[in-house]
């Protein structure tokens, strides 16, 4: 009898060891998505969010750095569509803090995002004509969205059009109605629709 009891205890011990308490006692608890729970104490009104926080929240980026990098690429493609004078007018209205922080890597104005960080690309964008009209370099809606997705290295979990709309929406919050209409006049058809929806 003794050996049998030992084997039985060993068998019980092994089965207990293989199952976790959640699996044994809490089998019918529904799974809750923490992103669907909103605590009114921590919710920040949209008008109190910084530029990059708006982009991050509306697009679904994981952090402010991804939002910053994506915004720079969207702005680059937008500048490629515009004349230098139109681009300068937009930049003149974007002098608000991108995000209030002590972190040096994120201390800049939205206008700094509008300028290209690559000096060669920045120079070329000032001397070349807008990429409009016929030709191989024309930027239509498909090319706009293609460039934004590929040049930014955005994660596959973020939807490209939603992220572009997030940048557009945050940008429109910083601009006058005149600049908003001017930018819309430069954008290709489907991208213009995204701009107007934002």
Q: List, in sequence order, the alpha helices (H) in the chain.
A: 2-18, 21-25, 51-59, 64-81, 84-92, 110-114, 119-127, 141-152, 160-172, 177-186, 189-197
The predicted-structure confidence for 137-192, as pLDDT tens digits, reads as follows 788 999 999 999 999 988 888 999 999 999 999 999 999 999 999 999 999 999 99
Residue 14 lies in a domain: no
pLDDT score of 194: 96
- CB proximity list for 78: less than 8 A, separation 6 or greater: 183, 186, 187
Which CATH number do you get for residue 55?
1.10.490.110
Residue 39 lies in a domain: no
Q: Which two tokens stand for residue 152?
A: 């930014």
Residue 37 lies in a domain: no
Closest by CA to 149, choosing from 100, 65, 94, 77, is 77
Half-sphere exposure of 171 (CA within 13 A, CB side): 31
Which of the residue ranges 32-41, 49-58, 119-128 has the most confident prediction, judged by mean pLDDT? Answer: 49-58
Range of the domain at 73: 46-197
Mean residue pLDDT of the chain comes to 79
Residue 99 lies in a domain: yes
pTM of the predicted protein model: 0.72
Residue 138 lies in a domain: yes
Residue 149 lies in a domain: yes
Residue 128 lies in a domain: yes
Residue 100 lies in a domain: yes
Does position 50 have pLDDT exceeding 60, yes or no? yes
Higher pLDDT, 160 or 27: 160
């Amino acid at each position: 009898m003794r050996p049998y009891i030992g084997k039985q205890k060993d068998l019980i011990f092994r089965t207990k060891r293989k199952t976790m308490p959640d699996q044994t006692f809490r089998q019918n608890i529904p799974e809750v998505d923490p992103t669907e729970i909103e605590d009114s104490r921590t919710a920040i009104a949209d008008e109190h969010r910084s530029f990059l926080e708006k982009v991050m929240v509306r697009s679904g980026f994981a952090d402010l750095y991804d939002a910053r990098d994506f915004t720079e690429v969207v702005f680059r493609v937008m500048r490629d569509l515009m004349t230098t004078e139109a681009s300068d007018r937009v930049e003149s209205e974007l002098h608000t803090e991108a995000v209030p922080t002590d972190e040096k890597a994120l201390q800049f104005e939205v206008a700094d995002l509008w300028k290209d960080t690559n000096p060669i690309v920045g120079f070329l964008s000032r001397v070349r004509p807008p990429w409009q009209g016929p030709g191989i370099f024309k930027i239509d809606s498909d090319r706009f969205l293609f460039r934004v997705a590929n040049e930014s290295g955005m994660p596959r979990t973020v939807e490209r059009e939603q992220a572009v709309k997030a940048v557009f929406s945050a940008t429109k919050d910083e601009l006058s109605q005149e600049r908003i209409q001017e930018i819309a006049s430069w954008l290709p058809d489907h991208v213009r629709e995204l701009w107007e929806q934002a």
